[in-house]
Structure 1
Amino acid sequence: MSTSIPFKNASLSFSDTGKGTAVVLLHGFLENSSMWKQLSSELSKRNRVIAIDLLGHGNSDCLGYIHSMELFAETVEAVLKHLRIRKCILIGHSLGGYVALAFAEKLPQKVKGLCLLNSTSYEDDEARKKLRTRANKMIQNNFAAMVRMSFTNLFGEKSRVLHKKELEAALQEALRTPIQGYMAGQEGMKIRPNRTHILSENNFKKLIIIGENDPVLNPQISLEEATKTHSEAVIFPDGHMSHIENTSELTLALTDFVKRC
């Protein structure tokens, strides 16, 4: 069951289930906390699981036209303060990983472990920045078609067939995202800095989960990133959406990671 708290001039929505070590789940772009339903159910058997709707996603409001990673991190801080949680394990999918890193940069003492799920500590390259700028121009004229195309492309070709039902359900959630939330998220991701040092310089547990056929992140670069930052790496055979494409394997990997933090 979700609840909400005020944040600046916006409302933040999140769920809070279970007892034990706090695990904070941060969804990706065009997703919301509903993506964690199955994983949250498993993790909350032994942990306190907080799943947050980031600004401009799910039931959380937009706040301006640039949702920077630092601003997103402030929302995580606000929820933890409200719940009186001192330390937590962060698991972030894609955009959620960027937010987790921004939070860990500001408040490393509050982090017991950090998992980048189909995510990276590197900044956008110039080609990716141009794609985000172009997407923000195109989205204003054909929102539904753009969201459908970009979201579907996150799945491997086989997964689009094998997980057609799950893909369609996730797409319907993506289409709930307001245009302002889409644009503000893109702008925030475009300006995010390199945060590799957050992984390299901190002693909390670190895990990078990689899709072997991820259309967004080069798996070889992700493997090198894990080695460079002394992070554990787990590789799955599919694309960018491991929570759908490799559900059972991901649940096992994250349950094990949380136990070891």
Structure 2
Amino acid sequence: MLHYEISGNGKEPLVLLHGFMENSLIWEEMEPYLSTSFRLIKIDLPGHGQSKTYGETHPMELMAEQVKNVTDKLQLAPFHILGHSMGGYVSLALVEKFPHLLKSMTLFFSSFLADDEDKKEQRLKSLRIIKEAFPNYVKAGVPNLFNPNEKDILEGKIELAKEIALSTRTQGVLAAVKGMAERKDHTETISTFEGKILLIAGKHDSAVKTELLLKKLPGKTNIKSYVVDCGHNGHWEKPAICAEIINTELLHNLPKKLVF
């Protein structure tokens, strides 16, 4: 079973799924802002953190099934789920397969769109670099995920992100890249899901095409979207603002498409 930790004093269960080359430690800065509202279940995805690797490829559906094993054990249903980046892809697979288990889904600097051909090619080309020079891959790539206008302010957090990425086993990194490259488009998934859908995006996100994502977002009353003045890592760059949106939207209602 996947490694998980539980914290928080709230009644509402919120499952937190980290992104690629991350683990459950990424939530530490946002956790104090969420812990009074939610019971937080922080899960290490396959091949990341303290969770084992399950094979040469980790499809998003396999990861979703492993997450469900944890939520079944804890008897959480119905629950909220929030996924950062790759964790959002896993959340979408979970929504598609088990929509009845979920109260809401938050795509946290993530996308419901499949990779285009250029992105798939980029992922597959990265496999060789990861195998041959993983530290260089981390050191070159991680800083680009933060707001380029605030890199001096965010220097400590960038170093922490590198440290967490470097702690990820190479086998798990490779399996995740292969799984992400083959993931499907989930426009229909979010169009048919009846629970609350919250999308939090970054104005300076180099990993997600925010403008395209907002254009493709279905115009349904259960879907809310926010654009935050940060890069790909709102949990480190704007933790208080992101937590305020989550607390407000999952427990109350506000107008659609507010910009912070």
Consecutive unaligned residues in structure 2, runs of 5 or more: 254-260
- 8 Å contact from structure 1 (residues 13, 53) kept in 2: yes
Residue 46 (structure 1) shift: 2.8
Residue 146 (structure 1) shift: 0.5
Residue 244 (structure 1) shift: 1.4
In the alignment, what sits opposite 1:233?
225
Per-residue CA distance 1:37-85 (angstroms, 9 max, x = gap): 1323332213211010001111111111101100110111000111111
Consecutive unaligned residues in structure 1, runs of 5 or more: 1-6
Q: Distance in 1 between matches of 2:125 and 2:150?
A: 27
1:17 matched to 2:7: yes
Q: Distance in 2 between matches of 1:178 and 1:193?
A: 25
Q: Distance in 1 between matches of 2:249 and 2:16?
A: 14
In the alignment, what sits opposite 2:94?
103
Aligned residue among 7, 14, 31 for 2:22: 31
Which one-letter code corresponds to 2:46 in the other structure? L
- 8 Å contact from structure 2 (residues 88, 107) kept in 1: yes
- Root-mean-square deviation (CA, aligned residues, Å) is 1.4
Residue 227 (structure 1) shift: 4.3
Partner SS, residue 28 of structure 2? helix
* Count of aligned positions: 251
Residue 214 (structure 1) shift: 1.0
Per-residue CA distance 1:97-124 (angstroms, 9 max, x = gap): 0000000111100110111011111111
Q: Distance in 1 between matches of 2:214 and 2:234?
A: 16
Cα pair distance change 1:236/1:46, threshold 3 Å: closer
Per-residue CA distance 1:191-228 (angstroms, 9 max, x = gap): 01001111111110111111111111122112113344
Q: Distance in 2 between matches of 1:255 and 1:131?
A: 36
Which one-letter code corresponds to 1:78 in the other structure? N
1:190 matched to 2:181: yes
- 8 Å contact from structure 2 (residues 29, 236) kept in 1: no
**1:144-183 alignment to 2 at 5 Å?**
144-183=135-174
- 8 Å contact from structure 1 (residues 159, 245) kept in 2: no
The percent of aligned pairs where both chains have the same amino acid is 33
Residue 251 (structure 1) shift: 1.3
What is the TM-score when the length of structure 1 is the normalising length?
0.92
